[in-house]
Amino acid sequence: MNIQLLVSAIHQKRIRITDHADEEAQTDKLTVDEIFFSVLQGRIIEDYPTDKPFPSCLVYGDSFHGEPIHSVWAYNRATQWAVLITVYRPDPERWINWRERKVK
């Protein structure tokens, strides 16, 4: 997936936020604007092209204050809508430089 598809969906307000993502954002005290900001200047670190019903990806970006944020997005090419599936502050025990999963 190309990050520009998500950026375009954000700019065009073609976004759906799942209940799960909303709950996780509240738990981690992340605002929608902060999540969008992290995507606008972020990058895709994992791609899941075979996910159903739509391909998805994991995006790494920073908050307004430079703190790491991970968000998982699906994208429907037919409608050009993006779906925020989940969002969280990554655990440093599980990530190398916030971009690569540590091997267990």
The mean pLDDT value for 79-92 works out to 98
Q: Domain 3-89 - what CATH class? A: alpha beta
Q: Return the domain boundaries, the chain.
A: 3-89
pLDDT at 104 over 90: no
Residue 3, SS3? helix
**pLDDT tens sequence across 29-77:** 999 999 999 999 999 999 999 999 999 999 999 999 999 999 999 999 9
pLDDT digits (tens, 9 = 90+) for 57-66: 999 999 999 9
- If you search the block for the tokens 């990058």, which residue do you land on? 43
- pTM of the predicted structure, to 2 decimals: 0.95
d(CA 12, CA 88): 24
Q: Decide: 84 and 35 in contact? Cβ < 8 Å.
A: yes
Q: What is the pLDDT of residue 58?
A: 99
